[in-house]
Chain A
Amino acid sequence: MITIRFRDETMVLEQSHSLAEILVMKNYHGQHFAVALNRQFIPRSNHVTTFIQDGDVVDVISPMQGG
Chain B
Amino acid sequence: MWKLADTLLPSRLLLGTAKYPSLHMMKEAIIASDANIITVSLKRQSPREKGGEDFWNYIKSLNCHLLPNTAGCHHAEDAITTAEMAREIFNTHWIKLEVIGDDYNLQPDPFELVKAAKELIQRGFEVFPYCTDDLVLCQRLVDSGCRILMPWGSPIGSGKGLMNPYALETLRTRLPDITLIVDAGIGKPSHATQAMELGFDGVLLNTAVSLAKDPIQMAAAFSHAVQAGRLAYEAGMMLERNCASPSTPLIDTPFWHQVERT
Question: Chain A residues in contact with chain B, CB under 8 A?
Answer: 7-9, 30-34, 36, 39-41, 43-44, 59-67
Q: In the assembled complex, which residues on chain A have CB atoms less than 8 Å from the CB atom of B46?
A: 7-8
Question: Chain B residues in contact with chain A, CB under 8 A?
Answer: 16-20, 26, 39-47, 50-53, 55-56, 59, 68-69, 71, 81, 84-86, 88-90, 156-157, 206-207
Inter-subunit contact A33/B89 (CB<8 Å): yes
Report the bound CA distance from A66 to B156 in whole Å: 12
Report the bound CA distance from A8 to B47 in whole Å: 6
Inter-subunit contact A7/B43 (CB<8 Å): no
Q: In the assembled complex, which residues on chain A have CB atoms less than 8 Å from the CB atom of B71?
A: 66-67
Q: In the assembled complex, which residues on chain A have CB atoms less than 8 Å from the CB atom of B18?
A: 65-67
- Expressed in whole angstroms, the minimum distance between the Cβ of B57 and any Cβ of chain A is 9
Interchain CB contact (< 8 A) of B156 among A9, A33, A43, A67: A67
The interface centre, meaning the residue of A30, A39, A40, A63 with most chain B CB atoms within 10 A of its CB, is A63
Give 29 pairs: A residue, B residue, CB < 8 Å, sorted on A.
A7-B45, A7-B47, A9-B47, A32-B53, A32-B56, A33-B52, A36-B85, A43-B88, A59-B44, A59-B45, A60-B44, A61-B85, A62-B53, A62-B89, A63-B40, A63-B41, A63-B56, A64-B41, A64-B42, A64-B51, A64-B52, A65-B18, A65-B19, A65-B55, A66-B39, A67-B16, A67-B18, A67-B19, A67-B69
